[in-house]
Structure 1
């Protein structure tokens, strides 16, 4: 695989992992704000799909014509990070697929050194290449996938990419509780000056 194929593979995998965080959850669970700033699973999918669409189409002069109202000048701040009651799970998943297809076309059709322009970045950073934006989107998607990993664990205990994920130590609920208690105990000791 060449560099572009490797980056593209990482991006596709992280996209799939992020979307999978919605699997098996009800509407409330995917929309529920889990942090003081309102971070929620469906909002993360909406945000990542929206941002990727801009970076891998408009930046390279390949607009799709798809209007994202949450990015309009009169939209409320952070409207891309949550789903209004009239925005369905299906519409956001469709946006995710649309964004991925449009982005994949750009990635497949352009060389890594293809020039782009990011008008919302500082003037001295606006001129970019596909390589730079691919790295940026891999990092952006993985960043928000990390948020989604934690939210999913808080919602229903799901960790990683499921039971077969080789990066998650297989433990029973009791073993996880004991593991957590060991960490809590270590934190208390360190906090009390026990080091």
Structure 2
């Protein structure tokens, strides 16, 4: 059976969307917002950011603007305003917004051919694009942030895995994982001692 490129890309996009939302399941408002990297990466902020990404790329780019205002996407927004949720923006508010953006994006994807042209006003080089290129771009960005969400959720409460139905991890208990991590730390320490602070790749 021949592969349908648009269907394939759309399927990968949906997998990424669902993975990001899965990482919020079971968390309260505080844990959904906890900044767990030096740059403040947090789970709910990733969802809010991706809502804005899709609203722009599948909306404005193809002359099909998302009908709701996104204040954090404006020129007067503060830096990183799209990467965290305020107290007034509840977890359910942000998740529901993301799902509404999905529906708008899906309508654009369904309505246009892969070679349909649009324009990305915020790109500095090639601004004229096709739906095919934008699908690839948004799939890549969504899965990149799904990876961020994997790490942040593990830092929140230890939950890890690719998908609920197929976590793609060894079936170890807490003690097994603690021993595994300790072993990796020993390897890293040994490599650091052997390589020294000025070690460089060969070639």
- The alpha-carbon deviation at position 162 of structure 1 amounts to 5.6
Tell me if the contact between 2:19 and 2:163 (Cα under 8 Å) persists in the aligned partners. no
Gaps spanning 5+ residues in structure 2: where?
A: 197-203
1:6-85 → structure 2 map (5 Å cutoff): 6-85=8-87
| Mapped partners of 2:159, 2:45: distance in 1 | 18
| Mapped partners of 2:62, 2:165: distance in 1 | 38
- The alpha-carbon deviation at position 125 of structure 1 amounts to 1.1
| Mapped partners of 1:66, 1:166: distance in 2 | 35
1:173-192 → structure 2 map (5 Å cutoff): 173-192=174-193
- How many residue pairs match? The answer is 194
- The alpha-carbon deviation at position 36 of structure 1 amounts to 1.1
| Mapped partners of 2:127, 2:178: distance in 1 | 48
Q: Deviation above 6 Å: which 4+ runs of structure 1?
A: none
Gaps spanning 5+ residues in structure 1: where?
A: none
TM-score by length of 1: 0.95
Tell me if the contact between 2:66 and 2:101 (Cα under 8 Å) persists in the aligned partners. no
- The alpha-carbon deviation at position 194 of structure 1 amounts to 6.4
**Structure 1 position 128 matched with structure 2 position 129:** yes
CA RMSD of aligned residues (A): 1.4
From 110, 113, 127, the equivalent of 1:111 is: 113
| Mapped partners of 1:93, 1:166: distance in 2 | 22
TM-score by length of 2: 0.92
Name the structure 2 match of 1:145: 146
CA shift in 2, pair 1:99/1:155, >3 Å: same
